[in-house]
Amino acid sequence: MKKEILNIPTPFGEPLILYKNQWGPESGDTLSIVSGLQGDRLNGLMVASRLSRFLNDVESGNEAGYQIQGCIQIFPVVNYKAWETGSAHWPFDGQDVDLTFPGMESGELTETICNTVIQHTAESDYGIILQTGEKHYEEAPHVKLIAPNRKRRTLTRSLGFHTVREVAESPSLILNLAKQWDLMGLHPFILCAGKSQTYHPQYCDLLLDGIVNFMRAEGLLSHHREKASQRETAFFDAQSEYPVLTREAGLFYPEPVIGTTVKEGEKLGEVRDLYQGTVLEQIHAPEEGYVVTLRDHPMVHEKELVAILLGEKNRRWFWPFG
């Protein structure tokens, strides 16, 4: 059911209205799913919309065998004003919404929006944030895990992702929604796939399947025959990440290695001179690793980050040994 959570008049026109969709009983376990923190991350928005349709169908009996058991909330759009402009941030304040939590009950518009999301998710047990790579980078589908512990690792396995990055504690996290959820006692998961300004249907399928599986595993959704599955999952901590930098400035031509495991010395791409087209540098994997992040924008400075590898020798399997 679509519910209004914030209604603020604007100086010149229609009011700004934020919505959430909600299904199931308000008591009991609650999952909150948030997308649209930035106005250019399309995969999350598409998944939120598809998931809402699926849950509406379940609620109205059109998805055979499924029943909603817990409370599920979806917040498809947070930075409404940024979505109007098609940019990551609202140019009016240049504020990254995911650096504005917990916001303020009465403050600037972005602060008020963030606080509204916090208030509506405060009683939840689980939180999922749908994200893509940072500007100019594509990310292979993976989960980012804040403040990892055994319980959270176990929960993560139900999301159906092959790769989990455990985020190092840092003061810069404090204004992120995921960190605020962590401080409020929710189990937060950031699901990352793709790049900004691009809809990637295959990644969205993965995200959708993973979330539905998670809901079944945690009893928020049931199916009369099928059980939720858990798959093998590789966990990498911050020390397992190998940033790969350019030596030269120029145009970066990547190899199609995103989401694959490369061997030490394997070519990741090359940098060519912008004006002459000559090859300035070939970039090779410093070690064997899974390419979780790859530069998407060709223009690179010297010492620019073009890839992040997750070191294979640091991989920790959590299944079937967990």
Partner 1 sequence: MKTQTLLTRRSPLGASVNIIKQTFSAHRHKPVQRVSFVSGLHGDEFEGPYLCHRLIHALRQIQEAHPEAFQGEVHVYPAANPPALNHGTRLWPFYGSDMNRMMGPHPGAPLPVQLSQELFEDIQSSSDLVVDIHASNLHLKELPQIRIIEEFSEELVPLALQTHADLIWVHPMAGVFESTLGYNLNKSNIPTLVVETGICLRIEPDFVDRLFHGMLQLLHHLGVLTSLPSDMPPAPTPQVVYPRGVAQSNAKHSGLFVSRAKLGQRVGEDEIIGQVLDPVEGAVLEEVTAPGNGILFTLREQPAVHSGALLARVALNQEPKP
Interface residue with partner 1 among 29, 59, 96, 125 (CB under 8 A) is 96
* Separation between Cα atoms, residue 13 and residue 7, nearest integer Å: 13
| Burial degree of 91 (CB within 10 A; 0-12, 13-18, 19+) | exposed
Q: Which is nearer to partner 1, 22 or 112 (CB)?
A: 112
Q: What is the DSSP code string of 40-76?
A: T-HHHHHHHHHHHHHHHHHHTT-STTEEE-SEEEEE-
CA torsion angle 63 53 76 211 (round to 10) = 30
CA separation, residue 264 to residues 98, 280, 286, 319 (Å) = 35, 21, 6, 26
Q: Which is nearer to partner 1, 248 or 255 (CB)?
A: 248
Alpha helix positions (H), 260-321: none
Which tokens in the block code for residue 222? 């049931």
DSSP state of 134: P
Q: Does 300 bind partner 1 (CB under 8 A)?
A: yes
Q: What is the nearest approach in angstroms of partner 1 to the Cβ of residue 169?
A: 9
Does residue 320 have a cis bond before it (omega within 30 degrees)? yes
Q: Does 144 bind partner 1 (CB under 8 A)?
A: no
Interface residue with partner 1 among 198, 245, 284, 286 (CB under 8 A) is 245
Q: Does 248 bind partner 1 (CB under 8 A)?
A: yes
Q: Under rule CB under 8 A, how many of the chain's residues touch partner 1?
A: 47
| Helix 109-121, helix 177-184: angle, nearest 10 | 40
Interface residue with partner 1 among 134, 287, 288, 312 (CB under 8 A) is 134
Q: Does 304 bind partner 1 (CB under 8 A)?
A: yes
Q: Which is nearer to partner 1, 228 or 249 (CB)?
A: 249
Interface residue with partner 1 among 3, 92, 202, 232 (CB under 8 A) is 92
Q: What is the DSSP code string of 307-320?
A: EEEEEGGG-EE-TT
Q: Which is nearer to partner 1, 228 or 305 (CB)?
A: 305
Q: What is the DSSP code string of 9-38?
A: --SSSSPEEEEEEEES-SSS-EEEEE--SS
Q: Which is nearer to partner 1, 27 or 106 (CB)?
A: 106
Q: Does 12 bind partner 1 (CB under 8 A)?
A: yes
Does residue 286 have a cis bond before it (omega within 30 degrees)? no
Q: What is the nearest approach in angstroms of partner 1 to the Cβ of residue 16?
A: 8
Phi, psi of 140, rounded to the nearest 5 degrees: -70, 150
Q: Does 17 bind partner 1 (CB under 8 A)?
A: no
Q: Does 5 bind partner 1 (CB under 8 A)?
A: no
Q: Does 305 bind partner 1 (CB under 8 A)?
A: yes
Q: Does 109 bind partner 1 (CB under 8 A)?
A: yes
Q: Does 243 bind partner 1 (CB under 8 A)?
A: yes
Interface residue with partner 1 among 5, 16, 68, 147 (CB under 8 A) is 16
Q: What is the nearest approach in angstroms of partner 1 to the Cβ of residue 160?
A: 25
Q: Does 274 bind partner 1 (CB under 8 A)?
A: yes
Q: Does 279 bind partner 1 (CB under 8 A)?
A: no
Give the residues lining the site for partner 1 (CB under 8 A): 8-13, 16, 88-89, 92-94, 96, 99, 102, 104, 106-109, 111-112, 134-136, 167-168, 170-172, 174-175, 238, 243, 245, 248-251, 274, 299-305
